[in-house]
Amino acid sequence: MSKYKRRLIYLLLIQLVLTLVHVALREPQEVNEGAFTSPFHFWLALWFGVFVVLYAFSLRCQNTGCRKMQVFRGYSVFDLRWPEGKCYSCGTPISAVYKNGRPVEP
């Protein structure tokens, strides 16, 4: 299992726990109550979820000729995939470092 897949699984598990904590701690809402008066656990779960989505968007191929996203591969819900150690399109390792379009040895 690649480290990026493992990280994404851990982040999604943390998001699940935060969402369950929010559901367990929420009180019955009044009709006139707005989102800005929501408790901290709502905002914590919301912003962590935004962070997880932005992290998934940031997983891209490091090859400057490819640069394909590894999790969101298209515009459909069915185009979501787990990130692997290599790019699904060109086969370049995701953790490779490129400088001026050429791979650099660490």
Whether residues 14 and 43 share a domain: the answer is: yes
Whether residues 1 and 41 share a domain: the answer is: yes
For the purposes of burial, counting CB atoms within 10 Å of the CB of 28, is it exposed (0-12), middle (13-18) or buried (19 or more)?
A: exposed
pLDDT in tens, 11-52: 999 999 999 988 888 776 644 555 555 688 888 999 999 999
Q: What is the pLDDT of residue 37?
A: 59
Would you say the C-alpha torsion 37, 40, 46, 50 has a positive or negative sign?
A: positive
Q: What is the pLDDT of residue 31?
A: 45
Domain with 43, as residue range(s), is: 1-25+36-58
More confident residue, 36 or 89: 89
> Based on the structure, what is the number of domains in the chain?
2
Q: What is the pLDDT of residue 99?
A: 67
Whether 73 maps to a domain, the answer reads: yes
Whether residues 92 and 104 share a domain: the answer is: yes
- 67: nearest Cα among 46, 94, 43: 94
Whether residues 101 and 53 share a domain: the answer is: no
Whether 106 maps to a domain, the answer reads: yes
Whether residues 54 and 9 share a domain: the answer is: yes
Q: What is the pLDDT of residue 19?
A: 92
Strands 97-99 and 102-104: antiparallel
Average pLDDT over the chain, rounded to an integer: 80
Whether 30 maps to a domain, the answer reads: no
Whether residues 3 and 53 share a domain: the answer is: yes
